[in-house]
Amino acid sequence: MKRILVVDDEIGALTLIGIMLERGGFEVLKSKDADQALEMLDLETPDLIILDVMMPGMDGIELCRVLRERADTINLPILILSARGDAKSVMSGMDAGASDYLPKPILHHDLVSKVRRMLNLDVVTEE
């Protein structure tokens, strides 16, 4: 089972994204901020990381840059999921090293399909 680390300071979003991914067949690790995410990554390496942009302290863009500098996460797929869907925000996310960028709100099917594609898994249509 592939493991996904979701980093989002909004507990509601963290819970909802976690449920979507678990229903899609993934194991989900959850972190409420960048510091907690980095601590988790010192203990284990997930198969993919999903980052929110707007978080207190280190935001998702900066965290993405930090992850790209670490040996254990330099090549991991990173998906930025943000309420900021404007071109400038998308570009700053991609420039920071994100593999892809999706605007919130996100539909269950879209999120699961995107994650499957990023992990090179066969995309299975769900009812």
Q: What is the pLDDT of residues 103-123, one digit of tens each?
A: 988 889 999 999 999 999 865
Q: What is the pLDDT of residues 82-95, one digit of tens each?
A: 888 889 999 999 99
Containing structural domain, residue 25: 3-118
CA distance 61 to 98: 8
The CATH number of the domain where 84 resides is what?
3.40.50.2300
Degrees to nearest 5, angle at CA 51 with 45 and 53: 150
Count of the separate structural domains present in the chain: 1
- How much is the pLDDT for 123? 55
- How much is the pLDDT for 116? 96
